[in-house]
Amino acid sequence: MRACRAVTSIGSSVERTDSAAKVRGETVYAIDRIEAGMLHGQLLRSPVPAGSIIRLETARARAVPGVRAVITAADVPDVLAGWFLRDTPLFARKVVRYAGEPVAAVAADTLEAARAAVQALELVLEEHEAIHSIEDALRTGAALVHPEWRTYQFLPGGEWPRAGNVATRSVCEVGDVASAFRRAHRVVEDTFSSNRQFQAFLEARSAIGICRGGRYVVHTGHQYPFNVRDRIAQFLDLPQSWVRVCGHALGGGFGGKLDYGLEPYAAVLSRFAGGRPVRLAHSFAEDLAAAGPRDNSIITIRSALDASGAIIGREFRADLDNGAYTGEMLAMPGIAANIAGAVYRVGAARVESNLVYTNTPPTGAFRGVSGVAMYTALERHMDHIARELGVDRREYRLRHLLAPGDALLSGQVLPDAGILREAFDAVERIAPWAGLSNRRQPWRGVGIGACVWVTNPGPASVTLKLNEDGTVAVLSGAIEIGSGSFAAGVTQLVAEELGLRPTDVVLPEPDTDVAAYDSGSQGSRTVRMIGGAARAEARQLRAQILERAAHLLQAGPDDLELGGGAVRRRDAAAGQVPLALVAAADLFQAGPIAATARYAEPPPAFDPTRSSGALMPAFPGVSYHVHLAEVEVDPVTGTVRVLRYVVAQEVGRAINPANIRGQIQGGVAQGIGLTLHESLRMERGHCVERSMATYRLPLSVDVPDVEVVLLEHPDPQAPHGIRGVAEAPIVLVPAVIGNAVADAIGQPVHATPITPEEILRLIMAGEADPVAAG
Amino acid sequence: MIELRLQLNGRDERVAIEPAETLLDVLRGRLRLTGTKESCREGECGACTVLIDGQPVASCLYAAQAAAGRRVETVEGLAAGGELAPLQRRLIEAAAVQCGYCTPGMLMTLTALLREQPEPTAAQVREALAGNVCRCTGYAQIVEAVAGSVLPAGPCGRAAP
């Protein structure tokens, strides 16, 4: 344990500035908002996964008492929108491509009237044969989900390989793979599948739209207000400045509130309802069926081993289910090249990853994105190789760890890859492997794994202003997503630079009319990127403050320092002036004290000749992770209890250790759900699980206290050396619990979730065919 | 419409309601007490938990009419006289609040627990919270806030340098 410096809040677990309002029940979440004269909206969604719209009759719906607007594709511009690839209509126009696709929307005085109007809409569809799965979509001669795919536009600056049902393909080739496999003493191959996972934010999606004077104002609880603004502008074919998005507190996002949700529908309904505010809100069940969940995938890995057991060649192929339309998923195939050869040396490699259209609800971002399935496959595969070779699983990993200066398959060099070894050592100190893996208690097992992860590098901008009472406001397009990254992390960085208490740092909610562009609360970026901007700008603000205070204290700016909400002379002579006085002094002569700064990072160097089709070809803000799990399987019920869970995580610099611990504990809990019981099955294009009663979330009795070791090697690239923290803790959970379950039952695990039914099936298969565990 | 009379956070309250309304909808919609949260609306998540005559109840499944003449407590009533209740302080100090959407329901369940069992064990807290879903925290810091020692502000869980 290291003692904190008393003079700074950096590195200490200061309280978040938003938590008092939250425990009082005073925080107004997006779904708590009302507007005077507010109408209620509802969507009509397609009941079938694929079909042609033969007739859509609105007259009966319009006649329902209290109905103010009924709109369909005929009422909005005939355009397609999309985060990177414009393939998505606001309403299905001629065809529907997934069960749940919006076909029409109504606004009415009451929710009951809106529901009645939706019931009164007459939709006649001619159902088509649908593409239900990745395998269906890739079959030779398969029907195309988007026959017109060639006409779709990428956003300016982007162009990625695609073909038919493959929305985008990324390929990375390093060295002579064919030769490696020809020379191989042994080849090990595995295929893994992973299922969808619902973000299950407890606050359902909602939005209020208001159209006045041709401009749209939207209130929403969202991770990325500028993305919502851009999507609405695309759908309505408007300049972005005609849309204003006001962000409000949100009850969880986890990636599920990064792309548009109900916002464009609320906006356009208001226009057709004469400008009255229109509110749309999902139920938990509607979100479950429609909000873009984590993608399901099929991943195949082949490794060529030489006589010593070293991997000299690897083929890695990941097919990711895009669903019917493309959002953030376009970025996913490209991450395979950074993951398939991460952590352990693999020699020559060919990596191919496809994003595949199906007639299912679109998938999207969820903490760890497709990287979770990729690392699950890789770390399960490592166990398989070690078993084939008869080598201890941990020992095999340590022999082949990347060393400092080794590169990812993308060509990105990791000068600090030696941290991986330190993370294995840190786990070993509190959970010695030999003791755990040799203690052969029946139905108990242990698993270990490692990963390299990334910090989202989206650009940030922040304006700081000194209020006339001496507090400082941070104007930004970012929002406190719940992690404490804003209400503690960024707040602590600003307070540190300006000698303020964290409670003197004010965080207005984001407003796209006011703030400069920001990439939102995603990918662990907030403290590093917004903190980077805030720190740079706090230094500008500090200079202004000292200059203004200099004549008040009759000293030069260099003789002054900030602290305790005041400016004082370093020589301690002649007292001090509070910041409030500095702000008020000369206000009318010299103007207010404010500053704006931006922060962006150049991407790490990589080898552009190796990869194609990668939206994010390198991994900025790299962090390193080792996880270990010990489990106990009940062979009668098939349930798994996680007895012990250990995380060693490289964070660069721990700004707020208690909040970091909360991110790790919470990420592991979500991972336990993903691994063991969160089942979001699609059956012929329809969600099987329809409510929280059937979609089983981790409860207080399911999750162990995670044992956490934080490693702190500051990233020389980033302010305070910060590396992203919050996303990664989920990434390895299915890998190490999967390895532990396989160890416990003596059977390989090739799919997640590993539900009790699946475990009983594996145990029975093992009894029928008792091969060794994988 | 009918008139519902109840004792709400220590005050007599009268409100006109539709006969079939849930207590959750009356609290949030008619009384604008939005501290009580709406989520699954099927009694699974616990976000809407309030106390009725001291007992935790999922207000989304509770007919508002059934609260007639009863003592109803919501999160807004916890900070008596404006001062945070000790339980509220402990959740803040333990960094047990992230997005905060489950927090009001957690607070009500835990308030009922602590009245019956002022010094619960971690296992008792976990058992009591088994009907309150939190998607953010993974529960450990919530349990610590109530049972066992809350880690002091400062370094925690850090590796030795």
Q: Are residues A213 and A88 in the same domain?
A: yes
Closest CB from B92, B103, B135 relative to A200: B135
pLDDT for the residue numbered A573:
65
Q: Are residues A472 and A330 in the same domain?
A: no
Most B CBs within 10 Å: which of A700, A712, A730, as the mutation test of the B interface?
Answer: A700
Cα A677 from Cα A670, distance rounded (Å): 10
The two tokens of residue B64 are 């508002």
Number of domains in chain A: 3
pLDDT digits (tens, 9 = 90+) for A324-354: 999 999 999 999 999 999 999 999 999 999 9
Phi, psi angles (nearest 5°) of residue A186: -155, 145
Cα A78 from Cα A91, distance rounded (Å): 10
Closest CB from B44, B130, B161 relative to A700: B130
Q: Are residues A450 and A521 in the same domain?
A: no
- Residue A474's nearest CA partner among A428, A435, A431, A531 is A531
- Residue A54's nearest CA partner among A119, A118, A128 is A128
Half-sphere exposure of A495 (CA within 13 A, CB side): 26
A158: in domain: no
**Average pLDDT rounded to a whole number, residues B144-149:** 84
**Is A665 in contact with B140 (Cβ distance < 8 A)?**
yes
Which residues, other chains included, contact A681 with Cβ-Cβ below 8 Å and sequence gap of 6+? A195, A196, A687, A688, A689
pLDDT for the residue numbered B158:
34
> Which ranges of chain A have pLDDT less than 50?
1-6, 772-774
For residue A13, count other CB atoms closer than 10 A to its CB: 28
**Is B45 in contact with A202 (Cβ distance < 8 A)?**
yes
CA distance B56 to chain A (A): 17
Q: What is the CATH number that goes with domain B2-77?
A: 3.10.20.30
Three-state DSSP at B15 gives strand
Contact residues, chain B, for A430 at CB < 8 Å: none
pLDDT digits (tens, 9 = 90+) for A276-305: 999 999 998 899 988 799 999 999 999 999
Q: Are residues A615 and A591 in the same domain?
A: no
Kindly give the pairing relationship between strand A278-281 and strand A243-247. Answer: unpaired
**Is B154 in contact with A19 (Cβ distance < 8 A)?**
no
CA distance B5 to chain A (A): 23
Helical H runs in B5-157?
23-25, 86-93, 103-116, 122-128, 140-146
- Domain extent listing, chain B: 2-77, 82-146
- Residue A187's nearest CA partner among A300, A41, A318 is A300
**Is B135 in contact with A19 (Cβ distance < 8 A)?**
no
Q: What is the CATH number that goes with domain B82-146?
A: 1.10.150.120
Q: Are residues A249 and A344 in the same domain?
A: no
Cis status, amide bond into A753, omega within 30 of 0: yes
A491: in domain: yes
Closest CB from B153, B157, B159 relative to A661: B157
**Is A16 in contact with B95 (Cβ distance < 8 A)?**
yes
Which of these three, A599, A624, A639, is where a domain ends?
A: A599
Q: Are residues A452 and A462 in the same domain?
A: no
Provide the chain B residues 136-155 that lie in CB contact (below 8 A) with chain A.
Answer: 136-143, 151, 153-155
Q: Are residues A428 and A464 in the same domain?
A: no
pLDDT for the residue numbered A772:
46
The two tokens of residue A145 are 């989900």
CA distance A11 to chain B (A): 7
Q: Is B108 on the interface with A (CB under 8 A)?
A: no
Cα A48 from Cα A40, distance rounded (Å): 25
Which residues, other chains included, contact B48 with Cβ-Cβ below 8 Å and sequence gap of 6+? B24, B36, B37, B38, B39, B58, B59, B60, B105
Dihedral sign for Cα atoms in the order A519, A524, A526, A528: negative
**Is B99 in contact with A2 (Cβ distance < 8 A)?**
no
Q: Are residues A520 and A620 in the same domain?
A: no
Which of these three, A570, A599, A628, is where a domain ends?
A: A599
Query: Using alpha carbons only, what angle is made at residue A503 by residues A661 and A569, rounded to the nearest 5 degrees?
Result: 115
The number of residues making up chain A comes to 774
Cα A196 from Cα A255, distance rounded (Å): 14
Which residues, other chains included, contact A304 with Cβ-Cβ below 8 Å and sequence gap of 6+? A180, A181, A183, A184, A186, A187, A311, A312, A313, A314, A347
Provide the chain B residues 74-93 that lie in CB contact (below 8 A) with chain A.
Answer: 74-76, 78-79, 84, 88, 91-93
**Is B135 in contact with A254 (Cβ distance < 8 A)?**
yes
Q: Are residues A209 and A105 in the same domain?
A: yes
H helix count then E strand count, chain A: 20, 32
Q: Are residues A318 and A364 in the same domain?
A: yes
pLDDT range class, residue B161, cuts 50, 70, 90: very low
**Is A283 in contact with B153 (Cβ distance < 8 A)?**
no
Cα A233 from Cα A218, distance rounded (Å): 12
Kindly give the pairing relationship between strand A215-220 and strand A206-212. Answer: antiparallel
Which of these three, A574, A599, A624, is where a domain ends?
A: A599
A198: in domain: no
Is pLDDT at B151 greater than 60 in this prediction? no
Percentage of chain B beyond pLDDT 70 is: 91
The number of residues making up chain B comes to 161
**Is A710 in contact with B37 (Cβ distance < 8 A)?**
no
**Is A32 in contact with B34 (Cβ distance < 8 A)?**
yes
Closest CB from B97, B130, B160 relative to A22: B97
The two tokens of residue B41 are 């609306």
Provide the chain B residues 57-76 that lie in CB contact (below 8 A) with chain A.
Answer: 74-76
Half-sphere exposure of A532 (CA within 13 A, CB side): 24
| Count of pairs with CB atoms under 8 A, one residue in A, one in B | 216
Q: Can you list the positions of beta strands (E) in A727-767? A: 751-752
Helical H runs in A88-199?
111-120, 134-138, 177-183
A23: in domain: no
Most A CBs within 10 Å: which of B136, B141, B151, as the mutation test of the A interface?
Answer: B136
Looking up residue A719, the CATH number of its domain turns out to be 3.30.365.10
Looking up residue A91, the CATH number of its domain turns out to be 3.90.1170.50
A195: in domain: no
**Is A202 in contact with B101 (Cβ distance < 8 A)?**
yes
CA distance B16 to chain A (A): 18
pLDDT for the residue numbered A769:
65
pLDDT digits (tens, 9 = 90+) for B75-122: 999 998 899 999 999 999 999 999 999 999 999 999 999 999 999 999
Domain residues for the domain of A101 are 37-128+205-281
Q: Are residues A551 and A654 in the same domain?
A: no
pTM equals 0.96
- Residue A553's nearest CA partner among A566, A563, A565, A543 is A566
Q: Are residues A320 and A305 in the same domain?
A: yes
Q: What is the ipTM, given to two decimal places?
A: 0.95
DSSP state of A44: E
